[in-house]
Amino acid sequence: MFSITQRAQDVSSMITTSIGVLAVLISISSLIQLYLNDYNNLSGELSVRKAQNSVKFTRSFGGNARNGKENVRLSFDMETDLTPLFNWNTKQVFVYLVGEYDGLNVLKKAKVAKDESSKVVFWDKIIRDKADAVLDLKNTRSKYTVWDYYQKMGNRTANLKLEYNIQPHVGPLVWGSVDFNYPFEFPEPKNA
Amino acid sequence: MDQAAEYFQKNIAPALAFNIDFKGQEKVTSLCQLTTIIFSVIAFVLGFILQDVLVTGYVMAVGTVVLLVIGLPAYPAYNKNPVTFLKPTEVKLPDLDSAKAVDIEIST
């Protein structure tokens, strides 16, 4: 404008406005790309090789000295292709293997709702590149030993699925899941 | 300290203003808006085709530098129509020394 400071202010306002508009356009275009890539209908295969349930009596495994807590660990094979989730706006994708099972409504005094469900995470991974997006895992051990709020976990059936969270460079977070249709029954505890 | 500030305001600051006239101001703003739009479009299209956000960032960085080079310095091309001020003329000021004081009555 008239003096150099006014011109500098005008130029900087133009630049920040254009950066804001570009950010909105990038996020909208990447969401459209995900929708066209059919990101919600991914498929894969999962099979659990070995699962074990043991009762632990220490704090770091959810139990205490008197009442134990049933802890479940498993090892699995998994195959899935996550490349439709990657476009120019994807910074990284966080995938995690969850088991979803019904809440325990046996204990009446706990007042658990009938349709309550619990989710536990067995394994997770951060994928940063499109080249690493094809997962082909063999005999992978679960990262975390899982336990429930209540003591009993054995003989309850869980639905295992892989959930993902797409973290973009600009724009909103996107969640989704790959359903394996694999009902998995937790084994009985081997030490009472 | 005050004297230094006064000296700065009187002698150094006007030289640092790098003024341009009004016609040049019109030219500069329209030129800067045009280059901003052009660089934003090029950045988005290139980034989308190459599927890389870094390309968009780099093109916008280059656009920022170009804008600073175009808009900030006071080129003589922007100073072609200087503002013509009126010549200083004699203005009759009222004679305050012989003015009569007006009595104001304060009603209580």
Domain ranges of chain A: 4-185
**Residue type present at position A7:** R
Retrieve residue B3's tokens. Answer: 């004297």
SS3 content of chain B, % helix, strand, coil (to 5): 60, 0, 40
Across residues A93-98, what is the average pLDDT?
Answer: 94
Q: What span, in angstroms and rounded, lies between the C-alpha atoms of A179 and A7? A: 57
pLDDT of residue A174: 93
pLDDT of residue B61: 95
Chain B contacts of A18, Cβ < 8 Å? 36-37, 39-40, 60, 63
pLDDT of residue A25: 94
Across residues A135-146, what is the average pLDDT?
Answer: 91
Q: What is the pLDDT of residues A147-164, one digit of tens each?
A: 888 778 888 888 999 999
A175 CB near a chain B CB, below 8 Å?
A: no
- Which chain B residue has the Cα nearest residue A33? B48
- Give the DSSP letter of residue A142: P
Across residues A133-154, what is the average pLDDT?
Answer: 87
Distance from the Cα of A2 to chain B's closest Cα (Å) equals: 5
The interface predicted TM-score (ipTM) is: 0.77
Q: What is the pLDDT of residues A97-118, one digit of tens each?
A: 999 888 766 555 556 555 677 8
pLDDT of residue B44: 95
Residue scoring higher pLDDT (A171 or B76) = A171
Task: With CB atoms and an 8 Å threshold, state whether B60 touches A19.
Answer: yes
Q: What span, in angstroms and rounded, lies between the C-alpha atoms of A162 and A80? A: 9
> Which residue spans within chain A are E strands per DSSP?
44-56, 69-81, 90-102, 117-127, 134-141, 157-168, 174-185
Chain B contacts of A1, Cβ < 8 Å? 25, 28-29
Burial class (CB in 10 A: 0-12, 13-18, 19+), A11: buried
Those residues with Cβ within 8 angstroms of residue A28's Cβ, 6 or more apart along the chain or in another chain:
A171
Q: What span, in angstroms and rounded, lies between the C-alpha atoms of A162 and A97? A: 4
pLDDT of residue B8: 85
Chain B contacts of A169, Cβ < 8 Å? 53
pLDDT of residue B60: 95
pLDDT of residue A127: 94
Q: Which of B103, B70, B85 is nearest to B22 (CA)?
A: B85
Task: With CB atoms and an 8 Å threshold, state whether A88 touches B25.
Answer: no
pLDDT of residue A189: 84
Residue scoring higher pLDDT (A192 or B69) = B69
A22 CB near a chain B CB, below 8 Å?
A: yes
Task: With CB atoms and an 8 Å threshold, state whether B48 touches A29.
Answer: yes
pLDDT of residue A69: 87
Distance from the Cα of A18 to chain B's closest Cα (Å) equals: 7
Of A10, A18, A169, the CB nearest to B29: A10
User: What's the Rg (C-alpha) of chain A?
Assistant: 23
Of B39, B53, B72, the CB nearest to A8: B72
* Alpha helices, H only, chain B: 2-7, 13-16, 22-50, 53-71
pLDDT of residue A66: 85
CB atoms within 10 A of CB B36: 24
Across residues A46-75, what is the average pLDDT?
Answer: 88
pLDDT of residue B99: 61
Q: What is the pLDDT of residues A4-35, one digit of tens each?
A: 888 899 999 999 999 999 999 999 999 999 99
pTM over 0.95: no
108 residues of chain B, pLDDT tens digit each: 888 888 888 888 877 778 777 888 888 999 999 999 999 999 999 999 999 999 999 999 999 999 999 988 888 887 888 778 888 888 887 777 766 666 556 655
Chain A, 29-48: which have a CB under 8 Å from a chain B CB?
29
Q: Which of A68-72, A97-101, A124-128, B97-101 is the least confident region?
A: B97-101
Chain A contacts of B48, Cβ < 8 Å? 29, 88
Chain A, 43-82: which have a CB under 8 Å from a chain B CB?
none
Chain B contacts of A3, Cβ < 8 Å? 17-19
